Amino acid sequence: MDSLFILIPVALVFCGLAIWAYLWAIDNGQYDDLDKEAFRILFDDDKPATKHKHDE
């Protein structure tokens, strides 16, 4: 029973930190464009490799 006097405030602090981190992420635009990251892997934006004379 004595451990509840420690565990309950610790749990409340962790919940408060989680809510603060979530609100911080929203304010910094982490959730603005969720589709961009999902489709980014599908598109190849790298420049094509240049051919060397010995490759021909």
Inter-residue contact 25 to 31 (CB < 8 Å)? yes
CA 41/CA 38 separation, integer angstroms: 7
pLDDT, tens digit, for every residue of 3-56?
999 999 999 999 999 999 999 999 998 888 878 877 877 877 666 666 666 655
At 4-17, the pLDDT tens digits run 999 999 999 999 99
| Res 56: pLDDT | 55
Per DSSP, 48 falls in state: P
